A = this chain, B = another copy of it.
């Protein structure tokens, strides 16, 4: 897809070997273009905002840990960003050490706290007496072993780590959940809305009008009355006072689908703030099943009917 609207440069949570890098490898046309490894999600989005990169790959949800708060909050606070793609990366972990390390000699483990939490069962079973040192990222946990700046003898890391660093595998597949997967999104700035593929998702962030009973219900009815299914709904604190939330929502369908557009109109009238984050092809390519009642044809037919009726065309039934 070498077309002018495709991003030509990319920022991602580095360094080489991260799950985010694995996600970026899935983007058609990204390989061979400039990739910029950054230290956190904020930096990645900042690169996009300031045009240092055309797009940023960021983690948005993990099947075990849930929504990535930093991503959700960053998307809610920066305007002009657009999600243009979704990618799924299986999350397996390995335990690595410098060459010569033996598993039974490991007493201290370096790991990002989230990765550490996901390997707890394996660690309790296999290294019950270990100590834990937190690291800033999965890859830096491993790199620290090489720089000798750590007391740890082993690190939890993504499988790709051994392709980039002189480290040896002490154990594989040590994650508690073998089906764990992380969902990534590719974010660009002011990208035009792509064409629907029939297997699309739309991401939005919505604030409720007031803290009244039933406003969440009312918001959901905007979707239900148009047959729009939600695949994700997550509350995030707005941050000013306890008890005020915004909702991060993924819905099945594309903003160019009539039912989705109509739901967004209803939502916009209802909510003091709706942010449209983008419509994009689903990573799993599962087509959205839409009952004929909510199909595009029904919307067109209804509009034609109403137009004729108001303009005075003869048969109003």
Contact = CB atoms under 8 A, between A and B. Distances in A.
A316 interface: yes
A127 interface: no
A44 to B, nearest CB: 15
A190 B62 contact: no
Contact of A276 (B183, B214, B293, B316): B316
Nearest to A213: B229
Interface string A238-277: 0111110100000000011000010011101110011110
Given A113-B113, A239-B177, A217 B213 contact: no
Interface residues of A, number: 85
Contact of A193 (B231, B301, B309): B309
B235 A225 contact: no
A86 to B, nearest CB: 11
A198 interface: no
Interface centre among A132, A216, A301 (most CB of B within 10 A): A216
B134 A242 contact: no
A197 interface: no
Given A216-B230, A225-B221, A228-B213, A192 B64 contact: no
A28 B181 CA distance: 44
Contacts of A65: 69, 237
A129 interface: no
Interface of A: 61-67, 69-70, 79-80, 82, 88, 113, 117, 132, 134-136, 177, 179, 181, 183, 190-193, 209, 213-214, 216-218, 220-225, 227-237, 239-243, 245, 255-256, 261, 264-266, 268-270, 273-276, 293-294, 298-299, 301-303, 305-306, 309-310, 312, 314-317
20 contacts: A61-B237, A61-B242, A63-B237, A65-B237, A113-B113, A134-B135, A177-B240, A190-B312, A192-B312, A216-B230, A221-B224, A234-B235, A261-B310, A265-B302, A266-B302, A269-B294, A269-B299, A269-B301, A275-B316, A275-B317
Given A113-B134, A179-B240, A193-B312, 16 more contacts: A61-B237, A62-B237, A63-B241, A64-B237, A132-B136, A177-B239, A183-B242, A213-B227, A213-B228, A214-B224, A218-B225, A221-B221, A255-B306, A265-B303, A266-B302, A273-B317
